């Protein structure tokens, strides 16, 4: 019995040790950026054998700045992450964009070493911002060893921006940037964030502790007052598991007062910030073997006032004492004391102490929907304005160029009220995302190269009072919604735009009575003949496939009459396709042909088959959608043909065909590598996010598959085939759909079961696409024991062999971490439960991380065959499209 008990205890302790070791070795969620490290160098790399921390180049996290190295003589004195730097000679504010977990505490550290990189011998001074709020002022003047700033901060969104702001003539720079997610319940305070003042453990050793001994990579500096304190230590294991989890090495030593009758005292002077308020985290553990009659008990005082106690430290186990509310010091002079109680036989001890000052971030970030929209517009028009970094509206002196915002009070999110993009070289159509700036009052898009029509949604924007569209290449007519509303509308300088009633309606002409009579008689004869012809034709066949007799076809002309894209005649379609000479493909709609417009612009022409029963509806849906959206990752509509029975859609031509043929290598398609696949996945995700977020009302594609992702000459991805697209209610709601639509294998099982349509249906289909890109397996394989790709991949994942999952055509040329991360994302998207799927915005963030991981992949990782991956699996039968 006794032996079994000892065996149980041994197994328990071993499991705890293994669990702790796994936690220590994990860098999950860590971001470690070597700022200025060229992307073509080995990245990530081990910072040192001691820490094993993986540092990567910062190039994919920021869009501006230049790179340099510190002086060569200094390079040998400092660790590798501090030997390169990024500096910012252009723009007032330059920002890093990091993906974080909203609502979770994060340790953020920024490190700065001037190192005379520019040969001027004078370090810079500048401000460091966290989002819209000032975090610290960095002053490197005369500071040869550099400095660092560290904060514990809880982000209010899943995006975090860390910005360097120029305040004078000197140029901001940064050496390293680090982010670590903290424990869920650690360092929780009433309000604000915690700026590190000091973090020390008490030992006569001159070493400092960080990762992997500290699982959160906090830096612990040794400190000791030899005249006042005596060190005690232990070689025994000290339990360090609580919400703060300090390193056990910091608990293995402690300081006690040399004079056992005196209190243990620690004082500091913070007179340069006398109004500072503090949080203290004092870590205690009894590490001495006490005699039977020994007692160690003491009270804790702060500035002479009772802080906590009496406390008896636990034997070889941590106790952490924290103040529940912030404390201040008189004039910045602070005192922390431990005083023994009357019954204590031993002096007090302290193993480690953390002290933070509270920093308030009062400025609210710009309304999140406005931020998403303005960034969508930025991406759609590929704007690279250097001052469009950080928060769009705050602080006010750093507001983006061309914006004005409303400011109610400091705690209310600002709203964008004015947007001036005049003379910025915009091309394409007027972005549909603009309508999501619901507080916009003034819009200036003048003197650009915008084409297409003036969208009707501008007239439905209730706050909009001034619109300047002059000096573009817009065509069509002014929508009725923009007329008679008291808007200040400027449209001059658009030669093809109809601005008066006379050009929209042909002038009436007077004709002699005889001509009128003759015309009426002739028309009557023609109508009589036509009626007889239709009667005879109906007798011959009761089923007519022509579009002109489809229910609702009488409204087709009204639907497309005012559309702004170019309308072609059927004869023009015949000419542009060289009499339908070259076939590009075939779908449910009909044949797709190669063509050219104006003799040089290549196009793809999709012609409706007369046997297509759903063709008209899909045609109308596709034109409706593509004429009001514009995004670099959606196929552009050049024009359309609607003439009698003839329907055709004319698109931009994408010479590299669809993604499916490049995965399989069929049809002359090349096998694309892993990094290109990730980029294509990201670009397709950006297009989907635009449909879900940038459109109003939001749209769901309903037919996302590899065959509907087309590639241009540079393999840039664009989503195509919007015939099944439908609008849905935003805000997480869904909309009833009477007919289930989608492609076999890609169809969302929840949508198929309930008939309720939402954007997560596209997320499921995207997950299947991503699985295809990872595995190059068919979505449906009826000869397999597991016919659906999610079932097959789920079975392979359980075996833990990444080589069995990955496309063998890739030849193991991929970073193993990137591959696992993408696979986990794909399975998360393809979760049978829509509530457990990520949004497309979250998918984009994760794909960016995959790309960063791949671009900086460790050569030693390539070829590893197994790692653990946390993927929720469901191998239920996947429904087919009806």
Is residue 514 in a domain? Answer: no
- The structure tokens listed for 558 are 């009204």
Confidence of residue 871 (pLDDT cuts 50, 70, 90): very low
pLDDT reading at 536 higher than 60: no
Torsion angle defined by CA atoms of residues 225, 231, 236 and 241, in that order, rounded to the nearest 10 degrees: -30
pLDDT at 190 over 60: yes
- Quick check: is 11 in a domain? no
- In a shared domain, residues 165 and 253: no
Q: What is the domain range of residue 621?
A: 553-653
Interstrand relation of 54-57 and 31-34 (parallel, antiparallel or unpaired): parallel
Mean pLDDT over residues 211-230, rounded?
Answer: 96
- Pick the more confident residue, 561 or 67: 67
Give the pLDDT band (50/70/90) at residue 474: very high
Give the Cα separation of 88 and 77 in Å (integer): 25
Mean pLDDT of 755-760: 82
pLDDT value, residue 483: 80
| Whether residue 470 is found in the same domain as residue 428 | yes
Confidence of residue 742 (pLDDT cuts 50, 70, 90): confident
Q: 249, 370, 379, 703: which one is catalytic?
A: 703
Beta strand residue intervals within 462-600, DSSP E = 466-468, 475-477, 488-490, 496-498, 566-567, 583-586, 590-597
Work out whether strand 54-57 and strand 84-87 pair parallel, antiparallel, or are unpaired.
unpaired
Tell me which of 258-272, 503-517, 540-554 is least confident: 540-554
* Residue 874 pLDDT exceeds 50: no
The 8 Å CB, 24+ separation contacts for 86-90 are 86/35, 86/36, 86/58, 86/62, 86/173, 86/174, 87/36, 87/117, 87/118, 87/171, 87/172, 87/173, 88/64, 88/164, 88/166, 88/171, 88/172, 88/173, 89/171, 90/64, 90/386
Q: Give the whole-number percent of the chain exceeding pLDDT 70.
A: 82
Q: Mark whether 151 and 200 lie in a shared domain.
A: no
pLDDT at 764 over 90: yes
Whether residues 845 and 725 fall in one domain: yes
Which of 555-569, 582-596, 602-616, 625-639 has the weakest average pLDDT? 555-569
What confidence tier does 728 reach under pLDDT thresholds 50, 70, 90?
low
Q: Tell me the CATH number at 380.
A: 3.80.10.10
Q: Say how many domains are in the chain.
A: 5
CATH number at residue 862: 1.10.510.10
Question: What percent of the chain shows pLDDT beyond 90?
Answer: 53
Neighbours of 414 (CB within 10 A): 26
Q: Is residue 24 part of a domain?
A: no
Q: Quote the pLDDT of residue 670.
A: 66
* Average pLDDT value for residue range 45-65: 91
User: Can you give the pLDDT at residue 638?
Assistant: 85
Residue 697: is the preceding peptide bond cis (ω within 30°)?
yes
pTM equals: 0.59
Residue 254 sits in the same domain as residue 153:
no
With contact defined as beta carbons under 8 Å apart, do 793 and 733 qualify? no
C-alpha–C-alpha distance, residues 857 and 860, integer Å: 9
> DSSP letter string over 174-202?
ESEEEEEE--TTSS--SSSEEEEEEEEEE
Residues 641 and 698 in one domain: no
Q: 548 in a domain, yes or no?
A: no
Residue 16 lies in a domain: no
Q: Tokens at residue 547, please?
A: 């579009």
Q: Does residue 714 sit within a domain?
A: yes
For residue 253, give both structure tokens: 């030593």
For residue 504, pLDDT over 60 is answered with no
> Bigger pLDDT: 521 or 799?
799
What mean pLDDT comes out for the span 712-734?
74
Q: Angle formed by the axes of helices 759-775 and 840-855, to 10°?
A: 20
Query: Is the pLDDT score of 500 beyond 50?
Result: yes
> Residue 344: which pLDDT band, with cuts at 50, 70 and 90?
very high
350-406 pLDDT, tens per residue?
Answer: 999 999 999 999 999 999 889 989 988 998 898 988 999 999 999 999 999 999 999
pLDDT over 90 at 253, yes or no = yes
Chosen domain end from 332, 359, 386: 359
Mean pLDDT of 540-550: 31
Q: What is the pLDDT of residue 482?
A: 87
Q: What's the CATH number where 610 sits?
A: 3.30.200.20
Coil, helix or strand for 417?
Answer: strand
* Structural domain includes residue 18: no
Query: Is the CB of residue 285 less than 8 Å from the CB of residue 317?
Result: yes
Question: In this structure, are 245 and 293 located in the same domain?
Answer: yes
The reply to whether 387 and 478 lie within a common domain is yes
CA distance linking residue 458 with residue 741, whole number of Å: 32
Q: Is the pLDDT of residue 110 over 50?
A: yes
Position 736 pLDDT exceeds 60: no
Predicted local confidence at residue 680, as pLDDT? 96
Give dist(CA 284, CA 518) in Å, integer: 109
User: Rounded distance, CA 701 to CA 719, Å?
Assistant: 9
Quick one: which of 265, 236, 258 has its CA closest to 248? 236
Same domain, 444 and 354: no
What CA–CA distances, in Å, run from 737 to 394, 734, 740, 839?
42, 9, 7, 21
Q: Are 46 and 25 in contact (CB under 8 A)?
A: no
438, 469, 500 - which closes a domain: 500
Q: What is the radius of gyration, based on Cα positions, of the chain?
A: 34
- Pair 488, 469: CB distance under 8 Å: no
pLDDT score recorded for residue 18: 40
User: By the 8 A CB rule, do 726 and 683 touch?
Assistant: no
Q: Are residues 215 and 156 in the same domain?
A: no
Q: What is the mean pLDDT of residues 868-874?
A: 42
Distance (Å, rounded) from C-alpha 839 to C-alpha 825?
11
What is the predicted pLDDT for the residue at 411? 81
Task: Confirm or deny that 606 is annotated as ligand binding.
Answer: yes
Q: In degrees to the nearest 10, what's the CA dihedral of 855, 856, 858, 863?
A: -10
Q: Mean pLDDT throughout 641-657?
A: 86
Q: What is the mean pLDDT of residues 238-252?
A: 94
48: domain CATH number is: 2.60.120.260
> Are 739 and 832 in a shared domain?
yes
Q: Which of 359, 382, 401 is the last residue of a domain?
A: 359
- Say what the pLDDT of residue 539 is: 39
pLDDT in tens, 827-859: 999 999 888 999 999 999 999 999 988 887 643
What is the per-residue pLDDT across 665-682, written as a single tens digit (0 to 9) for each?
665 556 789 999 999 999
Query: Residues 284-338: pLDDT tens digits?
Result: 999 999 999 999 999 999 999 999 999 999 999 999 999 989 999 998 899 999 9
Q: Identify the weakest region by mean pLDDT among 559-563, 644-648, 833-837.
A: 559-563
Question: Residue 875 above 90 pLDDT?
Answer: no
Task: Enumerate the β-bridge partners of residue 86.
Answer: 67, 174
Whether 658 is catalytic = no
Count Cα atoms within 13 angstroms, Cβ side, for 105.
Answer: 20
Q: What's the mean pLDDT when you consider all of the chain?
A: 83
The size of the chain, in residues, is: 882
- Least confident among 28-37, 310-319, 636-645: 636-645
In a domain, residue 577? The reply is yes
pLDDT at 278: 97
The dihedral formed by the CA atoms of 578, 583, 587 and 588, expressed in degrees to the nearest 10: 40
Residues 725 and 833 in one domain: yes
pLDDT tens, position by position, 256-291? 999 999 999 999 998 889 999 999 999 999 999 999
Mean pLDDT to the nearest integer, 748-776: 89
User: What average pLDDT does range 147-169 have in this prediction?
Assistant: 94
Q: Report whether 590 contacts 615 (CB < 8 A).
A: yes
């Amino acid at each position: 019995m006794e032996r079994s008990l000892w065996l149980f205890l041994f197994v328990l302790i071993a499991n705890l040790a293994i669990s702790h070791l796994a936690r220590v070795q994990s860098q999950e969620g860590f971001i470690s950026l070597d700022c200025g490290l060229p992307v073509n160098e080995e990245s990530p790399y081990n910072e040192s054998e001691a820490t094993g921390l993986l540092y990567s180049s910062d190039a994919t996290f920021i869009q501006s700045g230049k790179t340099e190295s510190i002086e060569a003589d200094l390079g040998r004195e400092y660790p590798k992450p501090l030997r390169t730097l990024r500096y910012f000679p252009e723009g007032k504010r330059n920002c890093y964009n990091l993906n974080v977990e909203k609502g979770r505490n994060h340790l953020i550290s920024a490190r700065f070493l001037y190192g005379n990189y520019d040969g001027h011998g004078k370090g810079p001074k500048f401000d460091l911002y966290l989002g819209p709020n000032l975090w610290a002022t960095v002053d490197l003047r005369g500071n040869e060893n550099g400095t660092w700033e560290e904060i514990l901060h809880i982000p209010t969104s899943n995006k975090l921006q860390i910005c360097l702001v120029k305040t004078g003539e000197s140029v901001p720079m940064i050496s390293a940037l680090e982010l670590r997610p903290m424990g869920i319940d650690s360092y929780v305070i009433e309000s604000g964030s915690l700026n590190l003042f000091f973090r020390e453990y008490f030992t006569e050793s001159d070493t400092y502790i960080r990762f992997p001994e500290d699982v959160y990579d906090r830096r612990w500096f040794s400190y000791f007052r030899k005249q006042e304190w005596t060190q005690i230590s232990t070689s025994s294991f000290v339990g360090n598991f609580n919400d703060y989890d300090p390193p056990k090495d910091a608990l293995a030593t402690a300081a006690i007062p040399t004079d056992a009758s005196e209190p243990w005292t620690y004082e500091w002077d913070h007179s340069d910030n006398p109004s500072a308020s503090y949080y203290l985290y004092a870590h205690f553990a009894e590490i001495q073997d006490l005699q039977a009659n020994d007692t160690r008990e003491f009270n804790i005082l702060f500035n002479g006032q009772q802080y906590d106690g009496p406390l008896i430290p636990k034997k070889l186990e941590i106790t952490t004492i924290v103040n529940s509310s912030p404390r201040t010091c008189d004039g910045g002079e602070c005192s922390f004391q431990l005083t023994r109680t009357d019954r204590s036989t031993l002096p007090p001890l302290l193993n480690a102490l953390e002290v933070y000052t509270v920093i308030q971030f009062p400025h609210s970030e710009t309304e999140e929907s406005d931020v998403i929209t303005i960034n969508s517009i930025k991406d759609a028009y590929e704007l690279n304005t250097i001052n469009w970094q950080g928060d769009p509206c705050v602080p006010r002196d750093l507001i983006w160029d061309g914006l004005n915002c409303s400011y109610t009070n400091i705690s209310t999110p600002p709203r964008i009220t004015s947007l001036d993009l005049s003379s910025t070289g915009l091309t394409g159509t007027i972005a549909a995302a603009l309508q999501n700036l619901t507080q916009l009052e003034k819009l200036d898009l003048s003197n650009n190269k915008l084409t297409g029509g003036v969208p009707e949604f501008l007239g439905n924007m209730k706050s909009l009072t001034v619109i300047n569209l002059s000096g573009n290449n817009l065509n069509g007519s002014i929508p009725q919604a923009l007329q008679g509303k008291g808007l200040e509308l400027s449209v001059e300088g658009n030669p093809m735009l109809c601005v008066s009633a006379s050009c929209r309606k042909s002038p009436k002409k007077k004709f002699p009575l005889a001509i009128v009579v003759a015309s009426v008689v002739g028309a009557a004869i023609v109508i009589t003949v036509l009626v007889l012809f239709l009667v005879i034709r109906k007798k011959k066949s009761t089923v007519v496939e022509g579009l002109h007799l489809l229910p609702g076809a009488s409204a087709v002309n009204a639907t497309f009459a005012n559309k702004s894209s170019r309308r072609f005649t059927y004869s023009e379609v015949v000419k542009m396709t060289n009499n339908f000479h070259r076939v590009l493909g075939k779908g449910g709609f009909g044949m797709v042909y190669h063509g050219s417009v104006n003799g040089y612009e290549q196009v793809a022409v999709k012609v409706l088959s007369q046997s297509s029963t759903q063709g008209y509806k899909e045609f109308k849906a596709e034109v409706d959608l593509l004429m009001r959206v514009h995004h670099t990752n959606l196929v552009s509509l050049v024009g359309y043909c609607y003439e009698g029975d003839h329907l055709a859609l004319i698109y931009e031509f994408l010479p590299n065909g669809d993604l499916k043929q490049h995965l399989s290598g069929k049809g002359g398609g090349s096998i694309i590598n892993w990094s290109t696949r990730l980029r294509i996945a990201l670009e397709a995700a950006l297009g989907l996010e635009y449909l879900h977020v940038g459109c109003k009302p939001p749209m769901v594609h309903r037919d996302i598959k590899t065959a509907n992702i087309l590639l241009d000459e540079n393999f840039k991805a664009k989503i195509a085939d919007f015939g099944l697209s439908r609008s849905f209610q935003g805000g997480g709601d869904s909309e009833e759909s009477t007919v289930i639509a989608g492609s076999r294998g890609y169809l969302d099982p929840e949508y198929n079961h309930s008939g309720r349509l939402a954007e997560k249906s596209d997320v499921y289909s995207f997950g299947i696409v991503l699985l295809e890109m990872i595995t190059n397996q068919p979505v449906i394989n009826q000869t397999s024991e597991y016919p659906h790709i999610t079932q097959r991949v789920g079975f392979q994942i359980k075996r833990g062999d990444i080589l069995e999952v990955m496309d063998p055509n890739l030849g193991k040329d991929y970073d193993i971490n990137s591959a696992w991360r993408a696979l986990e994302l794909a399975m998360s998207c393809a979760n049978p439960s829509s509530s457990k799927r990520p949004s497309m915005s979250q998918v984009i963030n994760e794909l960016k991380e995959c790309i960063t991981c791949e671009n900086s992949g460790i050569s030693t990782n390539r070829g590893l065959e197994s790692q653990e991956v946390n993927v929720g699996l469901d191998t239920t039968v996947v429904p087919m499209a009806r």
